[in-house]
Amino acid sequence: VNVSPSHQMNSSSAKRRNTGDHILPNAELPSGKSPFEPSSDVEDEEVASGIAGHHLILRGNHSCFDPPRLILHPMIKDLTSNTNDDESMESNSQKTYLYEALIVLWVQSWTAIASSIDHCERQLKGLSKAIPVWPFEIILGINNPSTDEVVAFSFVRHLAFFLPLCFKSLVLRCTNKETSRLLIPMTFLDDSHMQILIPIVETTALGILREALSGSGSASNADQMITKALSISDVICDFFAGLLAILHPSQMRTLLLSYFNILQECESQNESNRNRTINFHTNLRVNKCVRQIKLHAVERLASMPRFLSLNFPIKYTGTYPKYSGEKSTWYSQHHDVESGSDLQSMMIEADRDPQCFWLSEILMDECFDICQRSCEAIIIEAQAQSKAARRGRKVDDQLSLSRSDLLRLESIAYHSIICVYELLIKRHAMDSRFQSIACNTRVAGMFVGSVLEHVVNAASVLATMEGNHRVRCLWFLSLVYILQEGPEVLIRNKLREFCKPMGNRVNDFIAILKMSSITFQYLIPNFKNDELLHIIGGMTKEFIQETFNCLAASVILLIDECFDIFSCDYKALESSAAAVFDLLLHMLSSPQSSVTLLRTLGGSAHSLDRFGARVFLAATGHRFQHWGRIILSLMNSTELSVRSMAVDFFVSLIGGAFNDIGSIDAEMTCILTVMPEVVAREIALYNVSGLLHTMDDVESCLWPLRRALADVEDTNPLDDDRIDPQIMPSIRTLCRTGQAIIDGVFIEMRLCCSGSLDLEKIMIAQQQAFEAKSRCIGTGVNKIFDADEESLFEATNYFSSEGSLSQKLRWLLTLRDLHVTKNQWLEAAEALVHCARAVIESFDFIVNHWRPSQFDLWNDYRRSPWLSSIRISQGPRDHDNMAVMDFAKSFLEPGIGLPSRPSMDDLCSLFDNLVDDTLSAYTKEDGLEELAYAQFEELLSVVSDEIKSNTQKNRHDLLSPLRRVRATICTKISSLTNHGSCKSFSGVSQRYVRVILSGAKPDRFKESTTIPTFLEWSVASICRVTQATLSKAEKIMKENPLLSDEECICLAYAEPFVKSFRKTNGDHDSIVLRTRGIYNDLHTESGKTYIDVRVVQMRGVAKYSGGTRCFKSRRFYLRCDGPSQSSSKKVDITEFTVANRFPHVTSRQRNLITSEIKQFLS
Q: Which of 547, 481, 541, 550 is nearest to 519 (CA)?
A: 547
Residue 690 has pLDDT above 60, yes or no: yes
Greater model confidence, 170 or 344: 170
Q: What ranges in 214-279 are assigned the alpha helix state H? A: 219-243, 249-271
Residue 267 has pLDDT above 90, yes or no: no
Greater model confidence, 56 or 1069: 1069
Among 239-243, 246-250, 323-327, 923-927, the minimum mean pLDDT is found in 323-327
% of the chain beyond a pLDDT of 70: 80
Q: Which of 198-202, 502-506, 984-988, 1106-1110 has the highest mean pLDDT?
A: 198-202
CA distance 63 to 44: 8
Q: Are 868 and 822 in contact (CB under 8 A)?
A: no
Greater model confidence, 511 or 943: 511
- Beta bridge partner(s), residue 501: none
pLDDT of residue 781: 47
pLDDT of residue 776: 52
Mean pLDDT of 748-775: 74
- Beta bridge partner(s), residue 1134: 1118, 1156
273 — pLDDT class (breaks 50, 70, 90): low
pLDDT of residue 1155: 87
The alpha carbon of 415 is separated from its chain's Cα centroid by a whole number of angstroms, namely: 31
Mean pLDDT of 621-642: 94
Q: Which of 47-56, 125-134, 539-548, 1143-1152 has the highest mean pLDDT?
A: 1143-1152
pLDDT of residue 524: 76
Q: Are 636 and 683 in contact (CB under 8 A)?
A: no
Mean pLDDT of 951-967: 80
Residue 1103 has pLDDT above 60, yes or no: no
Greater model confidence, 538 or 370: 370
Residue 80 has pLDDT above 70, yes or no: no
Greater model confidence, 451 or 217: 451
pLDDT of residue 563: 87
DSSP codes of every residue in 1063-1123 = HHH--GGGEEEE-SS-GGGS---TT-EEEEEEEEEEE--EEPTTS-EE--EEEEEEEEEE-
User: The pTM is what?
Assistant: 0.85
Average pLDDT, the chain: 81
Is the dihedral angle over the CA atoms 847, 851, 855, 859 positive or is it negative?
negative
Mean pLDDT of 220-239: 90
Residues 6+ apart with CB under 8 A from 447: 357, 360, 364, 424, 425, 478, 481, 482, 486
Q: What angle do CA 52, 58, 62 make, to 5 degrees?
A: 95
pLDDT of residue 402: 83
pLDDT of residue 598: 94
Distance of CA 519 to CAs 363, 554, 580, Å?
26, 17, 18
Distance of CA 485 to CAs 306, 441, 482, 550, 1052, Å?
21, 6, 5, 10, 75
Mean pLDDT of 568-585: 90
Q: What ranges in 897-1026 are assigned the alpha helix state H? A: 904-922, 929-952, 956-978
Mean pLDDT of 1080-1101: 79
User: Which tens digit of pLDDT belongs to each residue from 456-506?
Assistant: 999 999 999 998 899 999 999 999 999 999 999 899 989 988 887 766 789
Mean pLDDT of 990-995: 90
Greater model confidence, 821 or 1064: 821
1043 — pLDDT class (breaks 50, 70, 90): confident
Residues 6+ apart with CB under 8 A from 604: 581, 584, 588, 649
Q: What is the DSSP letter of 326?
A: P
Greater model confidence, 976 or 713: 713
Residue 229 has pLDDT above 80, yes or no: yes
Mean pLDDT of 716-725: 91
User: Which tens digit of pLDDT belongs to each residue from 159-213?
Assistant: 899 999 999 998 888 877 666 667 788 888 888 889 899 999 999 999 999 888 8
CA distance 121 to 276: 13
Amino acid type, 564:
D
987 — pLDDT class (breaks 50, 70, 90): very low
| CA distance from start to end of the chain | 130
H or E segment to which residue 605 belongs: helix 594-611
pLDDT of residue 67: 67
Map residue 970 onto helix, strand or coil: helix
User: Which tens digit of pLDDT belongs to each residue from 639-669?
Assistant: 999 999 999 999 999 999 999 998 899 999 9
Three-state secondary structure of 866-921: HHHHCEEEECCEEEEHHHHHHHHHHHHCCCCCCCCCCCHHHHHHHHHHHHHHHHHH
Q: Is the peptide bond before 354 cis (omega within 30 degrees of 0)?
A: yes
pLDDT of residue 1121: 56
- Beta bridge partner(s), residue 127: none
75 — pLDDT class (breaks 50, 70, 90): low
DSSP codes of every residue in 294-309 = HHHHHHHHHT-TTHHH
Residue 983 has pLDDT above 50, yes or no: no
pLDDT of residue 530: 55
